[in-house]
Amino acid sequence: MILLENQLPLFILEHLFDLAKREMHGNLYEKLSMNKLTSDLLKVLGTFLLIEDKLFEEHFPKAQHFVDLIRLCLQPPQALQNGKFKTQVAPTITELHQPELIFSLGSSNYLFDIRFKNGSLEIPKFTIADQEGALITNLRDFEALNGVTNYVTHYFVIMSCLVSSAKDVEVLVQNGIIENWLSYDEDVSTLFQNLKKETIINFGSFYYYDLIEDLKAYCKSLWHKWKATLKQNYFNTPWASISVIAAVVLLILTVIQTVFSIINK
């Protein structure tokens, strides 16, 4: 059902379904429609891709086929703004983790709604199982042929930038953002990287341009770098933290004692 080469127009399937329903079962399945049947069949994929059940029935009348139906259901309610994508270089999750950026599970019900605000990168949950690789590839290929929107393509370009290693996947898994049903974290990063290699995007138009620029600026901030260095070198263990705190207290007491000694003189 999700292979692009297997797609048949939904109106043909709907017509054949109605004929079969009348000829074989009479009135037994009169209330059952191709729309409802398709929605029920795709509920599992909807769970993986954060698609609400009602969206399948809502978009069914205007979908060309099954792959197009999933694409339409994935589209955010408000169009994302395009920006000029100068380079496919963006900080990875591991690099962003160094300056203590917070990773949080996005509250949005739309997979593509990745946000960065107040030092927190919000990414909606994404479950990756064996069927996702084939589905993602077919959605991307259909977008390339369809030429209307590039939500799927741009989403996996930005995710391939963020997730380039098993360590990146591990951080997102620990934060509940990625649910990995594959054998290893490396399988997830390999999936994203392979998608990136096979994807061609328009450098003059990219939905996540502002996001990448904001993340780059955050990583370059001296204040964030200083905080990261302080935590990694001096607060990386409880004992190290206690030692630093004790040293600071001792320094303060020494300064106070020195000030009082000067005043008494």
pLDDT at 261: 75
3-state secondary structure (DSSP) of residue 233: helix
Mean pLDDT, range 209-233, rounded to an integer: 68
3-state secondary structure (DSSP) of residue 41: helix
Highest mean pLDDT among 10-19, 83-92, 141-150, 216-225: 10-19
pLDDT at 26: 58
Kindly give the residue spans of alpha helices, DSSP state H, lying in 75-184: 93-97, 130-146, 151-162, 166-174
Q: Tell me the backbone φ, ψ of residue 174, rounded to 5 degrees.
A: -60, -30
Partners of 178 in the β-ladder:
126
Could you tell me what percent of the chain has a pLDDT over 70?
A: 82
Which of 133 and 238 is assigned the larger pLDDT? 133
Mean pLDDT, range 204-229, rounded to an integer: 73
pLDDT at 226: 47
Q: What is the mean pLDDT of the chain?
A: 80
pLDDT at 85: 61
| Neighbour-count burial for 137-163, b at 16+ CB within 10 Å, e otherwise | bbbbbbbeeeeebbbbbbbbbbbbbbb
pLDDT tens per residue, range 31-79: 788 888 888 888 877 877 888 888 998 999 999 999 999 999 988 877 6
- Alpha-carbon span 104 to 107, nearest angstrom: 9
Run of H or E including 202: none
Task: Check pLDDT > 80 for residue 169.
Answer: yes
The band of 24, judged by pLDDT with boundaries at 50, 70 and 90, is low
Could you tell me what percent of the chain has a pLDDT over 90?
A: 16
Query: Could you tell me whether strands 120-123 and 115-117 are parallel, antiparallel, or unpaired per DSSP bridges?
Result: antiparallel
The band of 228, judged by pLDDT with boundaries at 50, 70 and 90, is very low
